[in-house]
Structure 1
Amino acid sequence: MTSHPSHGEQLLKINGVELCAETFGDPAAPAIVLVAGSAASMLWWDTDLCEQIAARGRFVVRYDQRDTGRSTTYPPGQPSYSLTDLTLDLLGIQDALGIERAHVVCQSMFGGLGLIVGVDHPDRVASLTFVSTSTGADGLPPPSSDLAMAAEPDVSDRAAVVDYVVAGAKAYAGGSPYFDEPAIRTLAERDVARAKNYASTLANHYAIEFDEPARGGFGDIVAPTLVVHGDHDPLLPLPHGEALRDAIPGAELLVLKGAGHDLPRAVWDDFVSALVLHTEGTRS
C-alpha cells in the first residue's frame, strides 16, 4: 500500500500574519483544502481523516486560521480582521503551496468563507463542499434549546477549559450515538496545549466582521458544490442543509445519518467516498 505521510507543520507568512499549515499526500494530486469551523484549529480535521482522504489520491491541506492553534492571535475580543481577510488567507495558503485551484471544504460558520471564495474568486476554486452550515435565511429552524452553554471557564485553568470544550462538543453532537467522549477529550487537551492563546480562540471568531461577497450570493456560485449535513445537528438542523442545497445551482446533499454538527469517525467512510467522487475529474 502506498504511504501518504504528513509533510509536517509549517508556518507561512501570509497577508502580514503567520499561519500554520500541514499537508498530507502527493502534492501533484488534486488539492483539497480543509477549513475548520469557528474556534477550531486544524486539529479538528482529524489526522486519521486527512490521511484517509490522501490515501484516495488527494493532496490534503489543513491549517490554523487566525486566533487558533499556532497561527497569529489577537487580544481576546479584539480581532482586527474580517471574514474577507480570512478568505484571502485561504488564497494565500493556496499561493504558498503552489495550488492554483483547490477543492475547498468549509465547516460550520466558515461556510461564509466558502461563499466569498466561490462568488468572488471562482478561478481559484475547483469545487466547494459545505459541512454543517447554512444560508442563514429567515424561517429556518432555530438551534435546539439543549445547546445552552455554561459560562466560559478561567482560561488559566487548563483542565476547566478542556472540560468546557468537551461539554460543547458533546452538546453539538446532538445526542449522536457516535459521540466519542474520550477521543474528543484527548483532542481538546492537545488543542488547548498547542494554542498560542486559547482565550482568543474562544472569543475572537465570534467578534469578527461577517461581511458578504462583493459579487453576489449563493445563487451565483458556479463551482460544483456538495452539501454535507448530519441529521442530528442541533445547532443548524437538517433543513439548513436542505436550504443550502436548494440555494446553489446544481448542488447535491449528503445526509450523514446519526451525525450531529460534527464529523464523527463512524461516518468517515461515507464522507470520504462522497468527497473523493465530488473532486474527481477536476485537477487543481
Structure 2
Amino acid sequence: MIHTRIKSVAQRLNWYRTKDKTFGLYQGYVFHMGDGNGMKFIFCILKNIDNITIANLQATLELRKSEFKNVNIKLQDRILYLSFEEGIFPSIRRSKFVRALDSLVEIFENLDIPKQDSCFECGAEEDLDYYNYQQMGMLLCDSCSSKMEEKVELSLLEWKSEEKNYLKGSLSAGFAATLISAIWILSSYYSNKVFPGFSLLIPYFVNKGYEWGGGRIGKWTILILALIITFFEGMCLAFIFDKFHNSPDVPLSSLLNGGAISLWVCMISVIWFFFFYKENLPEFYSAEKVN
C-alpha cells in the first residue's frame, strides 16, 4: 500500500512502482520513495562511487543539514536513506519531497557522482526499461534484463530441486512443541489457571523448531506446521478442560474465557501461516507506472 501523497508525487514525476514503493529517474538519478510506520522515506543506491566520494558526501550532508529539517539521514553500504518522521496524522507536504530531491541532485552533481540514466549493469544507454527486482527498481537494457530473468529462473529451479528436510524439520518442530506444551500443562496444573499466552508460544517455537531442524520452506511446510500447531494446542486445551471443568478452584467463566482466547490465538496463527509464511523467492518483472 502506497500513501496517497507519495503516489501523487510519483504520478507527477511519471515514476514506476513496486508493491510498497515508488521509484524513477529524477534529473538523472534513480530514487525510491515510500512510507512506513509513522514516517516517509527517500533512498538512492549509489553504485560505483569510491570511499573518498562517500566521505565527501557525508561531509556535505552535514554542512547542509539545515536544508533537511526534521529529516533523518543515513548513508550506509552506498545507500543514502532519508526518513521524514510524522505524527499520528500525515503532515508532510508534497513540496518537501521535491525540495529534498532537488537538494540531493545538486549535491550529487557538485560531487561528480555519476548519473544513473543508463543500464544499471552494463552502462548501455539504449533499449532501456524499468524493472522490479526483489521490490527494488532497476533500469536495464534488453540484454541485461534477459540475463537477469535467466538468473532468477535458475534460482527458482535450484530452490525447487533442493532438499526441504520435511522429516527433520517436523521432528524438531514437534519436539519444541512438546516442551512448550509440557510447560503449559504443568503451569496450569499447579496454578489452577489456563494461561492462554502459551497458545502464542506454541506457534512461535514450532516455527523456530522447524528452522532449527534444518527444514526449508516448500509446498508442504505450511500444512505440516499448521497440523503440528493444531494438534498440540488441541491436546493442551483438552487436558486443561478435562482437569478443571469440575474443579471448584477454577471458575467456569475463567476456564471458558481462557479457552476461547487460546482457540482464537491458535486460529489466527494458523491463518498467518497459510497466508503470510512463505519463502522470499527472487522476483523479476517489468515495472508498472504509478496510477
Larger relative helix fraction:
2
Question: Structure 2 length normalisation: TM-score?
Answer: 0.23
Larger RCO of the pair (alpha carbons < 8 Å, separation 6+): 1
Question: Structure 1 length normalisation: TM-score?
Answer: 0.23
Greater C-alpha Rg: 2
